């Protein structure tokens, strides 16, 4: 859907992109960890960078896409997951 929207609106100067975050250190992580340290360590063990992401790291990706530096970026899926999906 986002790719179709990106094509539909590109000529109007509207850029449509997607940010796909990985495990981010927020209260929502409890859903994946069971709210336990053991669960957190299990999640981290599957993360190539060895830690969950920070909300600020997702915000930085969004800010990039909103900036003029991403002016030629349309229809992209920016994966910010610490290498988990590589």
Where are the domains positioned within the chain?
A: 2-80
Whole-structure pTM over 0.85, yes or no?
yes
Q: Which residue reads 């069971």 in tokens?
A: 34
> What is the rounded CA–CA span in Å between residue 51 and residue 84?
11
Give Cα 6 to chain centroid, integer Å.
Answer: 18
pLDDT by residue for the chain (86 residues), tens only, comes to 999 999 999 999 999 999 999 999 999 998 889 999 999 999 899 899 999 999 999 999 999 999 999 999 999 999 999 999 99
CATH number for region 2-80: 3.40.50.720
């Amino acid at each position: 859907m986002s790719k179709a929207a990106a094509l539909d609106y590109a000529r109007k100067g509207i850029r449509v992109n997607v940010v796909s975050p990985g495990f981010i250190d927020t209260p929502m992580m409890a859903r994946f960890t069971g709210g336990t340290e053991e669960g957190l360590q299990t999640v981290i063990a599957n993360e190539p960078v060895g830690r969950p992401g920070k909300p600020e790291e997702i915000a930085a990706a969004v800010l990039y896409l909103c900036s003029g530096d991403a002016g030629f970026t349309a229809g992209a899926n920016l994966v910010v997951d610490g290498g988990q999906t590589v």
